[in-house]
Chains A and B, each alone.
Chain A
Amino acid sequence: MKGALKVEDAATLVPDGATVLIGGFMGVGSPHRMIAAIAALGVKGLTIVANDTAKPGLGIGKLISAGAVARVITSHIGLNPETQKKMIAGEIEVELVPQGRLVERIRAGGVGLGGVLTATGIGTEVETGKQLVEVDGRRFLVERPIRGDVALIGARQADYNGNLEYWLTAHNFNPIMAMAADTVIAEAEHIVPVGVIPPDAVKTPGVLVDHLIGRAA
């Protein structure tokens, strides 16, 4: 862990064209200050990997509205009409991925696996162009791992070493994404001294976290 950054400085770690993994589910558990800071910088051409694109004005929806996004790999855009509009207009390329497959592809990217075999989607549109393999008589689709240049993680608490704790339904993609990017930036609602988060409560070990966002001024 390299210490706490101002959110404006952390946002500069996301260059044009970067692939960015962003935690959260409909904005729940998303790193909202980081997202807003990146949207304000005028970054272009990002590939966003996230469960959904939230809605206009909320979470990842701010990046969509700001025109920062060229491509989205996601399971759901249904609650963000702007994503749909930009997709139809050809301004954003959208790859729709079943949610369970999306999280496993990211997990594979983070834990050094060459891919995922899943039965989800066999015989549907998402099978198109995918390799099929048979294992013990069952058929599976071969899915490639996903990694990011940067992962933006939202947590309930962080300690000074970057250990992260999540609450309730705000875990979602966060602990998985924290393993799958070259640079991991975590934004926590509270930053507490080392020892306050008991070892058993740590879901993302601080060794995975490169930067913490400092508290809001």
Chain B
Amino acid sequence: MNEVIVVTMDPKDLIARRVAQEIRPGMLVNLGIGLPSIVANYVPAERGVFFQAENGIIGLGARPPEGMEETDLTDAGGGFITAVPGAASIDSAMSFGLIRGGHLDMTVLGGLEVDERGYLANWMIPGKMVPGMGGAMDLVAGARSVVVAMQHLGRGVPKVVPFCTLPLTATRRVNLIVTDLAVIRPEDDGLHLLERAPGVSVETILASTSAKLHVSADVPEMMLH
């Protein structure tokens, strides 16, 4: 059964589905733009999760119906959204007060590099891409739990590396790395391989990772449900 799913599932959807399992009932969660935003599709409404967009809403909902977009209701990427029942609109000081103040249970962000210390670089490539950090530094420094959701390879190059060469987003160890190949947890002694994507071997993961990984005798497949 799993084999069939692997063949048909987009890598981004696979990552999003696995990250969604980390989100517990009642959490307040911030999803970054791009891949992380897909995670919301896999969190059932009955879980009672509130999503925050740092531009100023708790209770971000799905896209509005065509033609019913409200220009004053957008996510942090500027895309139109809806608000779920019980939502609250807030200003930027409150929004980042929640983030820094320990009120945000989890943030899910994309990554350019994560290293053996569990440090994340995701905001600039010197000389190439200098968009600004937006809210990323506050999110990584402040959220109770940081999950990095990214493709394992970027243009064929490993993104889980011994030591970040790109400018860091924070000097805080992230809590979990979820890719289309693996689930990895940074700990005191380095990176631990926790799970393999369906149909992916440990050898494939090691070959796609330049960082040292601690690997147990039996690495289970992701249970996607």
Contacts and interface: CB of A to CB of B under 8 A. Distances in A.
B21 to A, nearest CB: 28
A124 B171 contact: yes
Given A25-B56, A29-B72, A120-B100, A103 B132 contact: no
A163 to B, nearest CB: 16
A28 B70 CA distance: 10
B169 interface: yes
B78 A84 contact: no
Interface in A114-131: 118-126
A78 B171 contact: no
Interface residues of B, number: 41
Interface residues of A, number: 45
B135 to A, nearest CB: 4
Which secondary structure characterizes the binding site on chain A? mixed
A77 interface: yes
Interface string A95-111: 01011110110010000
Interface in B65-117: 70-78, 83, 89-93, 95-96, 99-100
A165 to B, nearest CB: 11
Given A79-B78, A173-B92, A167 B72 contact: yes
A28 B74 contact: yes
B24 to A, nearest CB: 25
B54 interface: yes
Contacts of B148: none
B99 A27 contact: no
B92 A103 contact: yes
A126 B57 contact: no
B205 to A, nearest CB: 29
A186 B32 CA distance: 31
Contact of A120 (B71, B76, B137): B137
